Structure 1
Amino acid sequence: MRTQVGIIGAGPAGLLLSHLLHLRGISSVVLERRSRDHVERRVRAGVLEQGTVDTLVAAGVGERMLREGLPHHGIELRYGGAGHRIPFEKLVPGRAITVYGQQEVVKDLIAARLEAGGDLRFEVEDVALHALEDRPYLTFGGERLDCDVIAGCDGFHGVSRPAVPEGVLTTYEREYPFAWLGILAQVAPSSEELIYARGERGFALHSMRSPTLSRFYLQVPPDAVAEDWPDGRVWDELKARLETVPGFTLATGEIVEKSVTPMRSYVVEPMQYGRLYLAGDAAHIVPPTGAKGLNLAVADVRVLTEALAAYFRDGSTGLLDGYSAACLKRVWRAQHFSWWMTTLLHTFDSDDAYGRRLQLSYLDYVTSSEAAATTLAENYVGYEW
């Protein structure tokens, strides 16, 4: 078998890349080790930047997102017994975020690729990368796929990044002394916008997926397991961390999913080796506080699409050679913002009274200074594309 671009991973990065390449007349094959049902059901990020929304709409896969997604024009920072709204419509006019689950984006992309006759292969075993320097090919399940380029879109635990020879990539990482317990509940949201709550008990986030489905996160110890958090304990802790302003009552309901997510920052440089190009979580991880993971993957794919289009159009390699540098500029901005939001809102060492006072001082600054609030808003909705 032969194709122009072999894509490993059927998450948002791999599927969107395949679709954008298809629109440019470039062939691809997508290999995914999980089942289609699994990738369409796994709950992940749900906050889409303005640039991500615009990309999906321009690619012809945004119709359901525009119909069912929830546009938001602000977020609330809650601390010290009060809520403070960061108004996007005032600070960054014309730009917002849309709440639309990552699994819904995946469903839309899979449907679009299959309708266009795309080659998507699920439950593929033993994927391996070969000859990355000049004539790359992939092997899987006893088959071989020759390609001009390989795109590694298979996430942090995938096979693409480890295929790069040792010593080529430089790793930058930071682990945080806590994790997030994620909760999906069959209950209408108690707020029209996201609430980021900072308190002495730890961080909490009130989000949503639809008018009847709410998403919550709790800061928990790094070794926490979901089984240690029965439903009653979850609701008690969410109430303790969120019901801190007069008149707010948290609605409760059936919890349909719980999971624990470790918190880490991670980047590898460069994001390319030979004919292999890494995109999304295969190259970088951000703590979810800033809602940047999915959006960074989309940004990578946009850059890679333009580079591949130029290469297959006239053999130009300039954009491909500069792929990593172009992506990393945005990656490091998102890394800083995600780190900043994380350190601003979470409880660290319980004995660090000095650190807690610094947090509160900066929160006061962000919520009282238009310049500081604009910086948060601009980063949150994403820079112009």
Structure 2
Amino acid sequence: MDLDARALELDAYVFHSWSAQAKLNPFVISGGLGCRVWDNSGRTYLDFSSQLVNVNIGHQHPAVVAAIQEQAGILATISPPTANLQRGEAAKRIVDRAPDGFNKVFFTNGGADANENAIRMARLHTGRDKILSTYRSYHGNTGAAIVSTGDWRRVANEYARGHAHFFGPYLYRSEFWAQTPEEESERALHHLERVIQSEGPSGIAAILLETIPGTAGVLMPPPGYLEGVRALCDKYDLVLIFDEVMAGFGRTGNWFAFDGYDVVPDLITFAKGVNSGYVPAGGVIISDAIAHDFDEVVFPGGLTYSGHPLAMASIVATLDAMESEGIVENAARIGRDVLAPALAKLKADHPIVGDVRGVGVFWAVELVSDQASRTPVSAAVMARVKSELLARNLLPFLSENRIHVVPPCVVTDAEVAEAMAIYDEVLSLDLLS
């Protein structure tokens, strides 16, 4: 039996996330390098998904692999109460890239528990309970994080208390009858303030926002929106949490997505791009005002693998490599000079493309059956799009009626051109018949 067949045979023992188990049809990935992955037979795919939009530094970056190997030979694990050089080095590098007034990092195992602990900190800081978040959002699959999530995955998991939702800006499908980005921003902020007032500011701990909602559609904040949310948090004395799990560490062409806006939150959650998922890791970057709450009072939270040495070594190596190799700058240039014009041309050439939006290496192509009505294409159409892209050796990220164009931050001009040719070929097919 060949290795791919063996992998599929053994996969029968795996319970997959977000799936009906009887309907699975996975394909095998056995290796990768840079922006490409392959199976055991040697078939290679151009990875324009970054897996789950997390492999920012690309697959198998030699410096990160070497750092993990070296750390494994020194100390493979240690409990969180200890001091450890790699943990301190990782925290210092993260703090160095955060705004002034952020000097502490609480390490978690991933993005969901980063948001979980940020919510806990906000509640303890304010003495209030309720968390506001948008309907178009994803914050993770743990108790409070999944209930903060706004999409369909929340509905079957609503066991946590103290959550309410509101609509964020999304001009292409405006909930506010807006015609311009400025109108969308103004009306979305008015809506949010009314939700705050209606839910009762004295009971609200925080507003939790993906700086740029990712899985929900790479929803770019219109002018003044994030700044307006900050102003509302200040007006009503609420904590502002920015979820940078997907958008952070180079994805937008900045170290943090909010670096592109004139706004600073109170808590910053991260994971994914901080070490490209080579070892599970995430965390909360804590403003001094909130961190000082726990100078003399015990923080009632912790994780066995918080600041795990292998994860910390991978963070240090990742951030150092991103700095020395100009990887964040590459993401910014690729987005501005290569992806933006290429995707604009894709929209101009194909009536099925209703909207294109994004920044850096973080883009969404929204597919519609009719541009005038903006009717989303069906699930059957998206299934065919996925099949056709895979048949041409491009590994896509699809969500609802969208192709998310999210390659690693190390992607080259030539790789973008290769992917664009494949998208163009697939979108030229008679997909709607």
Same fold (TM over 0.5): no
What's the TM-score once normalised by structure 2's chain length? 0.26
Greater percentage in strand: 1
Higher helix share: 2
TM-score, length of structure 1 as denominator length: 0.28
